[in-house]
Homo-oligomer: A and B are copies of this chain.
Amino acid sequence: MSKINKVVILGAGNLATQLAIALNDAGVNILQVYSRTIQSASALADKVNSIAITEISNLAKNADLYICAISDNALESVLDQMPIPIGDVVHTAGSIPMDVFDDYTECYGVFYPLQTFSKNRKVDFSNIPICIESNNLGLQADLMELAGRISNNIHIIDSEQRKQLHLSAVFTCNFANHMYSIGQKLLAEKDVDFDLLKPLIKETAEKVQELDPISAQTGPAIRFDKEIMAKHENELKNLPDFQILYRFVSESIFKMHSEKK
Contacts and interface: CB of A to CB of B under 8 A. Distances in A.
A218 B14 contact: yes
A208 B219 contact: no
Copy count, this protein chain: 2
B171 A183 contact: yes
Interface residues of A, number: 96
Interface of A: 14, 71-73, 95, 114-118, 121, 123, 127-129, 131, 153, 155, 157, 160-161, 163-187, 189-192, 194, 196-222, 225, 227-228, 231-232, 235-236, 241-242, 244-246, 248-249, 252-253, 255-256
Q: Give the 5 A-B CB pairs with smallest separation, nearest first.
A: A205-B205, A174-B219, A172-B183, A168-B183, A180-B213
12 contacts: A95-B228, A116-B204, A164-B186, A164-B235, A167-B236, A169-B200, A172-B201, A174-B217, A174-B220, A177-B208, A177-B216, A180-B213
